[in-house]
Amino acid sequence: MCSYAEDLAQEGVNKVKTSKGPTYSEYLKLDRLLSCQELLSEEHTGEAVPDEHLFIITHQAYELWFKQILFDLDSVRKIFMAPIVDENQTLRIVSNLERIVKILKLLVDQVLILETMSPLEFIEFRKYLSPASGFQSLQFRLLENKLGLKPSCRVMYNQQHYREVFKTEPDKKALEESEHEMSLLRLVEKWLERTPGLEAGGFNFWKRYQCAVARYLEVQRKAAENCRDEAERDETIAEFEKVKSSFESILDPDIHRALMDRGDRRLSHKAMQGALMTSFYREMPRFSQPYQVLTLLMDIDSLLTKWRYNHVMLVQRMLGNKIGTGGSSGYMYLRSTISDRYKIFLDLFNLSTWLLPRAYIPPMPHAVSRTLSCSQLHEAFNEMDIEEEKSKFIHARQ
């Protein structure tokens, strides 16, 4: 028996030795990859500025990671495009989003490596870069569009539309397509609108939430009015009115719609209901992975903001207020991109505004909880039209 196993192992070794597959270098195309670093300082003066090599390597690494992020992002978007998102695929969504988050953390830290350059060294080769600019990174613009950044939210670059810096037809076409296809934001919105438990004929979470908010606000109002000190009472009542107004902005669909028209909110009113429900019941198995999805989307936004901030600090450190190589205002332009207008999932960050203490969370009846836990499986049976298996499942539950 052992001899037979040894013969099989040896046969496997022999096959590997005689395999005509690629070598490590051939598989990774290292001959091309490692010959892509051409130093302009050396080309112009005959003597290379050492920091230019680091500058090229770092930005090439950025572009490779952007390519991986786009690959994983497209995979997630494809799953969300299904009329009903298969719960068996939710783990894949979480896994891909987690990987994107880890890559972005790496890219944020990668700025620290660029900071090892000295401003004087950077000046020595920067003069050869014009009109090249990081703003011309096609992949980063595709990433922003596929996540859901609206063109209207962008800061003007040199008083022109952001697409104007891209000159080739394939680049322009790719950008236009990325603007018109369903972004992750819109797909998540549709997904949240279908959150089980929102139905008026079922658990009707939104009606229960409105009642819970009314009870919460009534308690807050009485507490404010019962303050003995007049100055403190006036201040507390004023604070209560602000809280009440904030809740009205989420309870009233018309107010919410007006805020969306102004660009202050991104998600539909129904989607916000789904996001709130997911947040309240995140400890239930049915909502745990969806809650992870929402958390990871916020992580992506946070890390992109951190990356922009680190980039701004790097530019100021290296260039001060010099004009950018692409003709922009450099530091001043980049600083203007660090704002909420560049957050894709801004509404998810603001959800905490309308969360209630646990004592006010509408309890979910056990029967409803059981129904939600197996609803997706019932949908799968209906879609597949496997009546026999469906009957067995229902009989087993009884």
Task: Decide if 290 is inside a domain.
Answer: yes
Amino acid identity of residue 26, one-letter, is E
CATH code of the domain containing 276:
1.20.58.480
Query: Do 268 and 193 form a contact (C-beta atoms < 8 A)?
Result: yes
Give 326's DSSP letter: T
Domain limits for position 151: 37-387
Task: Decide if 311 is inside a domain.
Answer: yes
CA distance 343 to 368: 35
Mention every residue, 6+ apart, whose C-beta is less than 8 A from residue 360. Answer: 212, 213, 215, 216
pLDDT digits (tens, 9 = 90+) for 329-385: 567 777 778 888 899 999 999 999 999 999 999 998 877 777 776 554 444 434 444
Model pLDDT, residue 386: 37
| Helix H or strand E segment including 228 | none
Task: Decide if 222 is inside a domain.
Answer: yes
Task: Decide if 134 is inside a domain.
Answer: yes
The backbone torsions φ and ψ at residue 324, rounded to the nearest 5 degrees and listed phi first, read -70, 160
Number of other residues whose CB lies within 10 A of the CB of residue 128: 16
Task: Decide if 306 is inside a domain.
Answer: yes
pLDDT digits (tens, 9 = 90+) for 82-137: 988 888 899 999 999 999 999 999 999 999 999 999 999 999 999 898 888 888 99
Task: Decide if 71 is inside a domain.
Answer: yes
Q: How many domains does the chain have?
A: 1
Model pLDDT, residue 201: 81
CA distance 114 to 204: 53
Model pLDDT, residue 17: 58
Task: Decide if 267 is inside a domain.
Answer: yes
Task: Decide if 7 is inside a domain.
Answer: no
* Ranges under pLDDT 50 in the chain: 376-390, 392-393, 396-398
User: pTM here?
Assistant: 0.85
Buried b (16+ CB within 10 A) or exposed e, 301-340: bbbbbbbbbbbbebbbebbeeeebbbbbebbebbbebeee
